[in-house]
């Protein structure tokens, strides 16, 4: 399906719906279901994220792909092989902004993997929170193994979303995770933190996840220095 999206650009009318984020082409292959000013949104991203942090993003597509509906869950965005894919089914401008910033965070894992994960401090912070959450849940129905595994697991993701529910987890994990989605895996913990450093309550993130906060801040400050 991703190959189909890329091939469809060959038939794309250049003057139709092409935008630019810094020097990264953004192709709107399908219209948004709700009115969104993409030009102003991309300018907003340029004001938030220094150019060096987008070195692993080659292109951005707005197009509905089957990957968004895998695993009994619906997603609005993904990053793969240098491209960010965005669903046209976005609630509003803020919803789209969240998605783009979140996928930029995933793109950083490629170039800055050693810094983000190499010293294991982020993983230790994440797993300590997962273990604390396990003890807070009333009669956990999943084995402790799932809480000790930092990698994405479909069974665990399904359990969080469909069995426990994000409404339940939001209150239960308020002092441990910035949002329920951050519980999903170490990679989502990272991307959720990056997103909320830029778009959420930065000081709340610092208080809840200091190691995550410091890693995001270091990368952004370092990129700002390069830009100067």
Beta strand pairing call for 83-86 and 59-62: parallel
One domain for residues 103 and 119: no
- What residues contact residue 84 under an 8 Å CB cut-off, 6+ apart? 57, 59, 60, 61, 77, 78, 100, 103, 104, 107
% of the chain with per-residue pLDDT over 90? 79
User: In this structure, are 31 and 132 located in the same domain?
Assistant: no
Which H or E element spans position 21? Answer: strand 18-21
Whether residues 10 and 81 share a domain: the answer is yes
Give the residue from 88, 111, 134 where a domain finishes: 111
Q: What is the pLDDT of residues 50-83, one digit of tens each?
A: 999 999 999 999 998 876 666 555 678 999 999 9
15 band by pLDDT with thresholds 50, 70 and 90: very low
Nearest alpha carbon to residue 22 among 56, 50, 1: 50
Domains contained in the chain, number: 2
Domain termination site, one of 111, 133, 155: 111
pTM exceeds 0.75, yes or no: yes
Q: 119 and 175: one domain?
A: yes
Do 74 and 119 reside in the same domain of the chain? no
Q: Count CA within 13 A, CB hemisphere, residue 59.
A: 14
User: For residue range 117-128, what is the model confidence (pLDDT) as tens digits?
Assistant: 999 999 999 999
Residue 37 structural domain: 2-111
Q: Do 196 and 218 reside in the same domain of the chain?
A: yes
Mean pLDDT, rounded, for 209-220: 98
């Amino acid at each position: 399906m991703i190959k189909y999206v890329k091939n469809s650009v060959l038939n794309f009318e250049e003057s139709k719906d092409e935008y630019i984020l810094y020097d990264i082409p953004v192709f709107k292959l399908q219209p948004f279901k709700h009115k969104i000013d993409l030009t102003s949104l991309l300018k907003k991203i340029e004001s938030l994220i220094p150019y060096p942090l987008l070195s692993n993003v080659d292109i951005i597509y707005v197009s509905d792909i089957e990957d968004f509906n895998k695993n009994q869950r619906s997603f609005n965005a993904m990053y793969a092989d240098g491209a960010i894919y965005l669903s046209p089914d976005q609630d509003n401008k803020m919803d789209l902004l969240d998605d783009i910033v979140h996928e930029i965070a995933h793109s950083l894992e490629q170039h800055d993997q050693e810094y983000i994960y190499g010293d294991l401090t982020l993983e230790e912070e994440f797993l300590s929170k997962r273990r604390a959450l396990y003890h807070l849940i009333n009669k956990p129905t999943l084995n402790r193994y799932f809480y000790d595994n930092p990698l994405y697991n479909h069974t665990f993701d399904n359990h969080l979303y469909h069995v426990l529910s994000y409404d339940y987890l939001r209150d239960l994990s308020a002092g441990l995770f910035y949002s329920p989605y951050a519980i999903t895996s170490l990679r989502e913990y990272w991307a959720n933190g990056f997103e909320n450093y830029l778009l959420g309550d930065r000081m709340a993130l610092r208080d809840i996840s200091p190691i995550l906060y410091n890693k995001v801040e270091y990368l952004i400050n370092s990129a700002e220095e390069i830009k100067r």
